[in-house]
């Protein structure tokens, strides 16, 4: 049986980074900008003792009871790829904000190393660290943290002023950043004159002004109204696409993580419980805790069609001989199948009878009829009407129209049932 062989064009090279087969990490394909290795943080006087207990695998409660030391981070390791939005997620007290602050050492990690572009941040002397903070990180805070005694312009240019940039140059950069976030004309106002959403735009502009490669965002949109929050999320994604910033975004809101669309680092009690895309986490929660965490999410709108791909037993190429193709299909026992061109782009569907009818010497194209297709980046919810209307499995294509696989009703129903019936069972 040659059943699975024909699927020979490469799924891994799929153009859109948001299509992910479970277990396939796109981060590995890009260079890691930030590497967090085995970072722990304990708060309290008897930190050495607490660290030893932590290494021995004791839990937070035991350490707190014995040493009076609170464990903030417990052996955390992850990478942030250049140009990605990584969402660090967890409930309050999970250590996500502590993790973020360890990246630029606003909080000093107790052990472990953090590298940014290969430079060991954890080993930096104060002057080097200051320089690093000035040029490599922009930070956005939950409650904006705008300086009330400075105008919006004064706030946005703060980082550049601290760098020692001359006034005209920093004015220019600051004005550009203000324009970028849509606050043009508000530069001479004071923060108290702005609404919450506008304040956070100013906060974002301040973080962008120094043109640092990394944006650290600490619950940046949590204090905003839901509608404004959604707008800001979209705009951030838009901005990121344009500026190619690497963003580490701390959030307690799974919907926000999904809206931002990147990978998610899920934390609990100071440790990472799972790393992956929203789809991957939904499809394969690592622990019952994760399953409970993602329980209320509308799976159909999160799950991308690309995550549910089924392989096509036989794919025909347009240049094949029709009679031979018909023979192959007969041998494999399938009545109809999909046809692609030389570049792997989907042309349509054909069946044995149609192939047999093609006159001798004519190409296979004559037997091809058009068929329904959905984009791999579409959510299951979007694909449902198409799939429901088709008798056969629906072809899934990438942005260039290349065939990636198929999706059918059974696959969708299985995926949804797996998620909503009993989350515990899913792990």
Partner 1 sequence: MNWSVPRIPLDTWCDAALDWLTEALSGVTRAISHSVSDWIAELTTLLQAVPPPMIILAFGLLAWRVSGWRLSIGSMLGFAFLWNLRLWDPMVTTLVMVVLSTAASIAIGLPLGIVAALNARTWRVVAPCMDMAQTMPSFVYLIPAIPFFGLGPVSACFATVIFAMPPTIRLTALGILQVPGELTEAADAFGTTRWQKLVKVQLPLALPTIMAGINQTIMLSLSMVVIAAMIGAGGLGREVWSAIQRLEAGRGFQAGVAIAVLAIILDRITQQVSRRAQPR
Q: Name beta bridge partners: 41.
A: 73
- Candidates 137, 186, 221, 293; binder of partner 1 (CB under 8 A) is 137
Does position 161 bind partner 1 by CB under 8 A? yes
Distance between CA atoms of 245 and 242, rounded to whole angstroms?
8
Stretch of residues binding partner 1 (CB under 8 A), selected from 27-35, 146-154, 230-238, 319-327: 146-154
The minimum distance between CB 206 and partner 1, in angstroms, equals: 8
Asked if residue 367 lies in contact with residue 357, where contact means CB atoms within 8 angstroms, the answer is yes
Does position 75 bind partner 1 by CB under 8 A? no
Does position 134 bind partner 1 by CB under 8 A? yes
Q: Return the number of the residue (105 or 230) whose C-beta is nearest partner 1.
A: 105
Q: Return the number of the residue (59 or 147) whose C-beta is nearest partner 1.
A: 147
Q: 296: buried, middle or exposed (CB in 10 Å: 19+, 13-18, 0-12)?
A: exposed
Helix axes 226-243, 196-209, angle to 10 degrees: 20
Q: Return the number of the residue (88 or 302) whose C-beta is nearest partner 1.
A: 88
Q: Return the number of the residue (139 or 407) whose C-beta is nearest partner 1.
A: 139
Distance between CA atoms of 162 and 61, rounded to whole angstroms?
42
Distance between CA atoms of 402 and 11, rounded to whole angstroms?
10
The closest of 53, 80, 427, 83 to 275, measured between CA atoms, is 80
The closest of 274, 270, 330 to 102, measured between CA atoms, is 270
Interface map 213-252 toward partner 1 (x if CB under 8 A): ---x------------------------------------
Does position 106 bind partner 1 by CB under 8 A? yes
Q: How many residues bind partner 1 (CB under 8 A)?
A: 28
- Candidates 59, 120, 131, 424; binder of partner 1 (CB under 8 A) is 131
Q: How many CA atoms lie within 13 A of 342 on its CB side?
A: 1
Distance between CA atoms of 338 and 320, rounded to whole angstroms?
13
Interface map 182-211 toward partner 1 (x if CB under 8 A): --------x-xx------------x---x-
Q: Return the number of the residue (41 or 268) whose C-beta is nearest partner 1.
A: 41
* Tally of CB atoms within 10 A around 219: 20
Does position 143 bind partner 1 by CB under 8 A? yes
- Candidates 5, 15, 77, 147; binder of partner 1 (CB under 8 A) is 147
Q: Per the structure block, which two tokens stand in for 7?
A: 């699927």
Q: Give residue 256's region: left, alpha or beta (phi > 0; psi -120 to 50).
A: alpha
- Candidates 72, 159, 344, 405; binder of partner 1 (CB under 8 A) is 159
Helix (H, G, I), strand (E, B) or coil at 380: helix
The minimum distance between CB 184 and partner 1, in angstroms, equals: 21
The minimum distance between CB 199 and partner 1, in angstroms, equals: 13
Q: 8: buried, middle or exposed (CB in 10 Å: 19+, 13-18, 0-12)?
A: exposed
The minimum distance between CB 259 and partner 1, in angstroms, equals: 25
Distance between CA atoms of 259 and 250, rounded to whole angstroms?
13
The minimum distance between CB 111 and partner 1, in angstroms, equals: 22
> What is the contact surface with partner 1 in residues (CB under 8 A)?
104, 106, 129-135, 137, 139, 141, 143, 145, 147-149, 158-159, 161-163, 190, 192-193, 206, 210, 216
């Amino acid at each position: 049986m040659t059943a699975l062989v024909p699927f020979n064009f490469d799924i891994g090279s799929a153009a859109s980074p948001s299509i992910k087969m479970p277990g396939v990490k796109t981060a590995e394909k890009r260079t890691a900008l930030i590497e967090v290795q085995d970072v722990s943080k304990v708060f309290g006087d008897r930190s050495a003792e607490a660290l030893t207990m932590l290494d021995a695998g004791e839990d937070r409660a035991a350490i707190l009871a014995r040493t009076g030391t609170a464990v903030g981070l417990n052996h955390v390791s992850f990478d942030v790829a250049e140009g990605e939005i990584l969402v660090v997620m967890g409930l309050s007290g999970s250590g996500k904000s502590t993790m973020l602050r360890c990246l630029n050492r606003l909080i000093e990690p107790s052990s472990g190393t953090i590298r940014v572009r290969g430079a060991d941040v954890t080993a930096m002397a104060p002057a080097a660290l200051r320089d690093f903070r000035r040029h490599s990180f922009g930070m956005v805070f939950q409650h904006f943290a705008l300086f009330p005694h400075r105008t919006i312009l004064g706030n946005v240019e703060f980082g550049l002023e601290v760098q020692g940039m001359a006034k005209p140059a920093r004015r220019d950069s600051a004005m550009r950043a203000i324009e970028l976030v849509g606050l043009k004309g508000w530069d001479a106002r004071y923060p108290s004159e702005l609404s919450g959403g506008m304040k956070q735009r100013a906060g974002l502009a301040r973080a962008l002004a120094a043109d640092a490669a990394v944006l650290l965002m600490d619950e940046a949109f949590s204090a905003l109204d839901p509608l404004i929050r959604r707008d800001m999320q979209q705009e951030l994604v838009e901005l990121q696409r344009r500026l190619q910033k690497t963003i580490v975004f701390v959030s307690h809101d799974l919907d926000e993580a999904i809206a931002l669309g990147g990978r998610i680092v899920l934390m609990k009690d100071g440790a990472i419980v799972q790393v992956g895309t929203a789809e991957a986490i939904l499809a394969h929660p690592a622990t019952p805790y994760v399953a409970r965490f993602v329980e209320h999410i509308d799976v159909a709108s999160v799950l991308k069609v690309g995550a549910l791909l089924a392989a096509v037993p036989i794919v025909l190429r347009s240049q094949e001989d029709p009679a031979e193709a018909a023979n192959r299909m007969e041998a494999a026992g399938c009545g109809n199948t999909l046809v692609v061109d030389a570049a792997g782009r989907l042309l349509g569907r054909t069946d044995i009878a149609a192939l047999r009818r093609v006159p001798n010497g004519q190409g296979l194209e004559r037997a091809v009829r058009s068929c329904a297709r959905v984009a791999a980046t579409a959510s299951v919810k979007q694909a449902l009407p198409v799939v429901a209307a088709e008798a056969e499995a629906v072809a899934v294509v990438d942005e260039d129209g290349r065939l990636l696989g198929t999706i059918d009703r059974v696959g969708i129903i299985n995926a949804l049932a797996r998620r909503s019936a009993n989350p515990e069972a899913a792990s």
